Structure 1
Amino acid sequence: MEAQSKKIVLFDDDEDILSICSYILSEAGWEVHAFTDCNNVIERVRKIMPDVILMDNWIPDVGGIETTRQLKNDPKLKAIPVIYFSANSDIHELAASAGAETYLAKPFDLDDLQKKVNEYCL
């Protein structure tokens, strides 16, 4: 029986970043779900029940901080690790404010992306 693939949800309004991250993570065996906005975030994430979530700071419509807080306030979703990612210089403060488990500063090395994602999916 084949092991179930690990699932990840990416939220970023930059389609180039979504495309690159989706490709890299798919090649590494992840089932990738990518969104350019965070509308209906609870409903979307509940349908997928990912192992990890990558959250951009500047995601439409309410932004990454508020979206991450919504996820962390949901009893069924709060245990899913959120990796906050942004080009903002104070990303560590933004991630902490949002309640994310960790962060990844943009621009990031693709190896760092894979390491960070794998670190939070054990």
Structure 2
Amino acid sequence: MKRIMIFDDDADILDILNYLLSEKGWDVHTRTNCTDIISIIEQCRPDVILMDNWIPDTGGIVATRTLKTHEEFKDIPVIYFSANNDIKKLAEEAGADAWLAKPFELDELEKMLSEF
């Protein structure tokens, strides 16, 4: 079973994605902030990370860069997701492996997750 960690400050989005992805067989973990992200990832050991741009406390760009410069976690795929118009640019700036614009279709997310 693949494990996914989702960082988003919107609890409704986390609840919906948790339900939908759990139904599809994923082991889903969620956080409404990325405070002390290294210890969160050490505990969870996800196969894939979904990272929102507007996540407290440091924001998605800093959080993703922190992971991508960490020797142990740099190879965990990060999918950057946001409703921001500049999502592609932000994802590249963060060093994310992929990006997904909100709102998105569940099929689109599933396809992306299955590629990692």
Superposition TM-score tier, normalisation by shorter sequence: over 0.9
What is the CA distance between 1:17 and its match in structure 2? 0.7
Q: Is residue 48 from structure 1 mapped to residue 44 from structure 2 by the alignment?
A: yes
Q: Distance in 2 between the 1:23 and 1:117 partners?
A: 16
Question: How many matched pairs?
Answer: 116
The TM-score with structure 1 as length reference comes to: 0.93
Deviation track 1:34-91 (CA, whole Å, cap 9, x = no partner) reads 0000011000101111100000000001100000000001101000000000001110
Task: Choose which of 44, 56, 59 in structure 2 pairs with 1:60.
Answer: 56
In 2, the alpha carbon distance for the partners of 1:52 and 1:7 equals 7
Residue 34 of structure 2 corresponds to which residue in structure 1?
38
Alignment of 1:22-33 (within 5 A): 22-33=18-29
How many Å apart are 1:96 and its aligned residue? 0.3
Partners of 2:105 and 2:2 in 1: CA distance: 21
The TM-score with structure 2 as length reference comes to: 0.98
* Long gaps (5+) in structure 1: none
In structure 2, the gaps of 5 or more residues are none
Which runs of at least 4 in structure 1 moved beyond 2 Å after TM superposition?
A: none
| Alignment root-mean-square deviation, CA | 0.6
The equivalent position to 2:6 in structure 1, one of 7, 10, 23, is 10
